[in-house]
């Protein structure tokens, strides 16, 4: 299926290994390394791993379930193999805004531009506050100050002509429509989430639509984040999320996604399926950038939708887009 799509790369949104499922056999660095080697040694890996670049973010099962202890405990033993097998071949680390320097000795968040899209890959595990802190605590953070500063600067940064989309890779869902264990998602970090949403709407109002890619929940949901009515941001500046998982794991045993309010609007929800991934195609049609999303479940195309670029503020014409056709695939 993946070769047929002719994707340019795969974004894998965490939980590449399940070090603690069905049970943990150890907490040493060697145990974590073994988990990666088992997957890469699988005879099935060649069919999906050859001739396709895989780009990774970190999630809890690379460390321990629902990890919110930042860099303490088993983190060091867990993250060394992740750097060895995944981060070292990821895109470049994020550079400080207006500088060639980074704040990361061993990068865990990344950014790059490919074709008509700019990408920011979040680390939602290494710097987060405890999940048990109050959801509306203004000091509670999922990203930590340095990563948040870099992320907000990226959202605010104008993109070159032809780049109409900003993709955000988050290992956990941005929507709060998953009430089961919502504290492990962005729904448990509401103050920071609001600040990010406002920056996303600001980007959309300048003609760059933000699309969040997430996984973790072993279900599929597409969600729209419209700006508040009568706000300074137009409806066309809405952000979107496609949360798609798992690629090859058990499905959620029961439905857990439900729209909670008018802030996070459900577009589509499909819980079933042990193999899910999404494919994006960005095309220039009649001078407008369009994003087509296709959902594949257990080898079959199950749902699709199209999003049009956000209109840019009126200004003198400086030339059209030169981008032609661009594809990617992603999953947990």
pLDDT digits (tens, 9 = 90+) for 243-260: 999 998 988 888 999 999
Number of structural domains the chain divides into = 1
Q: What CATH number did the domain enclosing 249 receive?
A: 3.60.21.70
Q: What is the per-residue burial (b if ≥16 Cβ within 10 Å, else e) of 292-331?
A: ebbbbbeeeebeeeebebbeeeeeeeeeeeebeebbbbbb
Helical packing angle, 190-205 and 145-156, nearest 10°: 20
Give the pLDDT of residue 322: 46
Q: How sure is the predictor about 331, in pLDDT bands with cuts at 50, 70 and 90?
A: low
- 125-134: pLDDT as tens digits: 999 999 999 9
Q: Residue 244 in contact with residue 278, Cβ under 8 Å?
A: yes
Peptide bond into 246 cis (omega under 30): yes
DSSP letter at 71 equals T
Predicted TM-score (pTM) of the model is: 0.92
Residue 25 confidence class, pLDDT cut points 50, 70, 90: confident
Residue of 243 and 22 predicted with greater confidence: 243
Stretch among 96-105, 201-210, 230-239 having the lowest mean pLDDT: 96-105
pLDDT greater at residue 105 or residue 122: 122
- In tens, the pLDDT along 296-308 reads 999 999 999 999 9
CB atoms within 10 A of CB 46: 10
3-class secondary-structure state, position 76:
helix
Over the chain, what is the mean pLDDT? 91
Contacts of 306 (CB under 8 A, 6+ apart): 290, 291, 292, 293
Structure-model confidence comparison of residues 320 and 278, the more confident one: 278
**Is residue 144 predicted with pLDDT exceeding 70?**
yes
Residues of the domain holding 217: 2-331
Give the model's confidence band at 327: pLDDT under 50 very low, under 70 low, under 90 confident, else very high: low
pLDDT of residue 24: 81
């Amino acid at each position: 299926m993946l070769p047929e799509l002719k994707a340019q790369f795969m974004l894998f949104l965490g939980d590449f290994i399940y070090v603690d499922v069905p049970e943990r056999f150890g907490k040493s660095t060697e145990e974590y390394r073994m988990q990666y080697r088992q997957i890469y040694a699988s005879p099935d890996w060649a069919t999906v791993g050859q001739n396709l670049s895989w780009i990774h973010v970190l999630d809890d099962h690379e460390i321990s379930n629902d990890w919110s202890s930042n860099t303490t405990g088993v983190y060091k033993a867990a993250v060394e193999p992740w750097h060895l097998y995944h981060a070292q071949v990821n895109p470049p680390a994020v550079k400080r805004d207006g500088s060639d320097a980074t704040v990361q000795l061993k990068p865990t968040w990344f950014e790059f531009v490919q074709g008509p899209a700019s990408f920011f890959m979040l680390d939602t595990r290494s710097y987060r506050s405890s999940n048990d802190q109050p959801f509306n605590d203004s000091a509670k953070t999922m990203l930590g100050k340095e990563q948040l500063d870099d992320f907000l600067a990226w959202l605010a940064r104008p993109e070159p002509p032809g780049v109409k989309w900003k993709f955000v890779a988050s290992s956990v869902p941005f929507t709060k429509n998953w009430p089961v264990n919502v504290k492990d998602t962005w729904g448990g970090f509401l103050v920071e989430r609001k600040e990010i949403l406002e920056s996303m709407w600001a980007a959309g109002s300048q003609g760059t639509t933000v699309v969040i890619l997430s996984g973790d929940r072993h279900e599929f949901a597409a969600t729209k984040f419209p700006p508040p009515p009568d706000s300074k941001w137009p409806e066309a500046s809405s952000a979107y999320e496609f949360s798609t998982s798992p690629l090859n794991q058990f499905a959620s045993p029961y439905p857990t996604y439900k729209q909670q309010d008018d802030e996070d609007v459900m577009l589509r929800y499909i819980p079933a399926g042990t193999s899910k991934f999404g494919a994006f195609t960005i095309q220039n049609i009649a001078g407008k950038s369009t994003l087509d999303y296709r959902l594949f479940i257990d080898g079959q195309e199950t749902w699709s939708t199209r999003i049009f670029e956000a209109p840019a503020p009126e200004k003198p014409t400086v030339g059209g887009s030169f981008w032609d056709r661009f594809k990617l695939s992603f999953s947990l």
